[in-house]
Amino acid sequence: MKKVRVAVATKGKKGLEDEISEVFGRTNTITIVDIIDDEIRNIQVLQNPALSYRYGAGPILAKTLVDLNVEVAVAGEFGPSISTLLEDHKIAKVTMKKGTSVSEAIKFVQAKFVKELRC
């Protein structure tokens, strides 16, 4: 049994029905999705802990993802600082078009990343 944890930058609190945020570090919420043996097993929506910070939102959010054992991060865009931090912690990045639903993004991750991360 293999579990893959995905963090999706989202606009609100609608879970799989929500839309992907255009930005990662300043996203309103993070939707955490656990995929176990190619099935969605757990969905959790968290407020971005760094949203109110004037500076340094990316590193704070990156640390949160590391602490949550996230393996894949999804957003409309990743800035250079957050990209480097995610790469340093071996968190894969997936960039999706604005307006994409979380459920569509998760299907993409399942198709492209889950098998790869199992190896």
pLDDT of the residue at 115: 63
pLDDT of the residue at 117: 55
Mean pLDDT of 18-46: 95
Q: 3-118 has which fold?
A: Nucleotidyltransferase; domain 5 (3.30.420)
Contact partners, residue 64, CB within 8 Å, separation at least 6: 30, 46, 49, 50
Mean pLDDT of 49-64: 90
pLDDT (tens digit per residue) in 61-113 = 999 999 999 999 999 999 888 999 999 999 999 999 988 999 999 999 998 87
With 70 as the cut, is the pLDDT of residue 1 above it? yes
Mean pLDDT of 6-28: 95
Q: What is the DSSP string of 22-90?
A: S-STT-SEEEEEEEETTEEEEEEEEE-TTTT-SS-HHHHHHHHHHHTT--EEEES---HHHHHHHHHTT
Please give the model's pTM, rounded to 2 decimal places: 0.92
Which residues, in sequence order, are bridge partners of residue 106?
none
Mean pLDDT of 13-36: 95
